[in-house]
Each structure stands twice: as C-alpha cells, then as structure tokens.
Amino acid sequence: DAGVIQSPRHEVTEMGQEVTLRCKPISGHDYLFWYRQTMMRGLELLIYFNNNVPIDDSGMPEDRFSAKMPNASFSTLKIQPSEPRDSAVYFCASTTAWVRYTGELFFGEGSRLTVL
Amino acid sequence: QQQVKQSPQSLIVQKGGISIINCAYENTAFDYFPWYQQFPGKGPALLIAIRPDVSEKKEGRFTISFNKSAKQFSLHIMDSQPGDSATYFCAASPQGGSEKLVFGKGTKLTVNP
C-alpha cells in the first residue's frame, strides 16, 4: 500500500517567493496533519484536518502560512511570502478515526524547504 | 502549557549496550505515550506506545517504563545495534486521541559497531 506522499522532496527558493507543499494522505484516512521540524523547535503541529475541514490551526506561525484540503486525497501548505526562518522540513501525516486511539500517525518522507 | 521534555539530546552507545532515553511531562490530561523512530531522510514512524495504567511495556528489545506519579517515562533499547541508530521522539496525547500529539525534541542515537 502507498504511504503518505509528499512533494516536492526538496525546495530551494528565495526570500519573498511563494512556496506550495503538497500531500496525498493514505486512502481511507480522514485525519491529516501538517508538522514542521527544525533542530531548535523539534516537531511542531501546524494544523490538522478532519474530513477535509480544518480543526485546529493554532500552530500556524503567522498569516503567511495557509493550508487547504479541497478533497480527501489532497492537501496543500502554502507560504507566501517565504522567509529564511521558514527553512525546515515539513511533514504531512494521516490517520483514521479508529487508529487515532492508538496514537499512530503515518508520516510522509517530508519536504525540505530552504529559503535563501 | 502542554509540553514534553526529552533528554538527552544525543546519545552514543556501543553495540550490545543499553540505550536509555527519558521524557517528562506536565499535563496530567495526557493519557497515551507513543515513541517514534526517525531514520535520516524519512518521516517518524511509531515504534512502541504505552498507557498510564501500565508501568512497563516490552516489545522485543524495546521497553517503555512509565512512572505516573513522577510524570516520567523512558525508552530502553537492550542489546543496541548499529541499525538502531536514528532519532527517537517521545510524545504524549491527551485523552487517547492523536490530535494535538505533543512531541519531545528528539534524541539522536548513534550505536557504534
């Protein structure tokens, strides 16, 4: 079975540019999460969706960040304009309503973003 | 504020040795404590998990010890192998759900041959 698929795997951009990260969750999973990983702050939850609806976006750092989930098989995380401090690895993860009680999230391989 | 503190930040162990990673939490509403393992270039993956009604859980060479009164839990890797070299994250989840899963900052484990 295919796991969580993220693209691009690597992105290098210049400050001020728009960045769009994409995620395809595991089929049948109804929860989708976006995390950001940095050395300083570790894994931070940015936002999560349930049945395509954003439930909690309190972790989104500022208005430059936005996330959408137009359907059950696709989500995007957009940063506009990007800044060097946004450089990090961004992970998408998914899970199902019953699996969540075991605490298991299925992570993608991440998108490494470098903003110059 | 929900927080999970993890130590050490990095750990070097010889092959065959015991690796021990510790975590502490503050929020008594946490009731599920998973550990995730992350290899370079990959996403974290669930390794083992425990609930607070159990003081210890063992799966192969991996054991979680849980001290509810001290609000601490730890991961022990027995007979550590070079293939165990990875970053380990403890985490905590409130009321049994993985929403708002709070992660520790991670421990980079290196097992020397």
Q: Residues 56 to 85 of B: which have CB under 8 A from any A CB? A: none
Average pLDDT, chain A: 93
**B97 pLDDT more than 70:** no
Q: Chain A: residue nearest B43 by CA?
A: A109
Neighbours of A74 (CB within 10 A): 14
**A45 pLDDT more than 70:** yes
Task: Judge whether B95 and B64 are in contact, CB under 8 Å.
Answer: no
CA–CA dist B99, A48 (Å, integer): 8
pLDDT tens for each residue of A66-80: 999 999 999 999 999
CA–CA dist B30, B62 (Å, integer): 22
Structure confidence at residue A1 (pLDDT): 64
CA–CA dist A111, B21 (Å, integer): 27
Q: In the structure, what pLDDT confidence band is assigned to residue B52 with cuts at 50, 70 and 90?
A: confident
Query: In b/e form, how buried is each residue of B86-112, taking b as 16+ CB within 10 angstroms?
Result: bbbbbbbbbeebbbbbbbbbbbebebe
CB pairs under 8 A between A and B: 64
CA–CA dist A78, A68 (Å, integer): 8
SS (H, E, C) A29-84: CCEEEEEEEECCCEEEEEEEEECCEEEECCCCCCCCEEEEEEECCEEEEEECCCCH
Percent of chain A with pLDDT over 90: 81
Selected for mutation to probe chain B from A23, A35, A105, A107 (highest B CB count within 10 Å) is: A105
> Mean pLDDT throughout B98-111?
87
pLDDT tens for each residue of B13-36: 999 999 999 999 988 888 889 999
**B98 pLDDT more than 80:** no
Selected for mutation to probe chain B from A104, A106, A111 (highest B CB count within 10 Å) is: A104
CA–CA dist B111, B90 (Å, integer): 19
Query: Does residue B88 belong to the interface with chain A, where contact is any CB pair within 8 Å?
Result: no
> Mean pLDDT throughout B58-65?
96
Structure confidence at residue A98 (pLDDT): 67
Q: Chain B: residue nearest A31 by CA?
A: B99
Structure confidence at residue B96 (pLDDT): 53
Q: Which of A17-26, A57-66, A107-116, B76-85 has the lowest mean pLDDT?
A: A57-66
Q: What residues contact B100, with CB distance under 8 A and at least 6 apart?
A: A45, A56, B2, B93, B94
**B95 pLDDT more than 80:** no
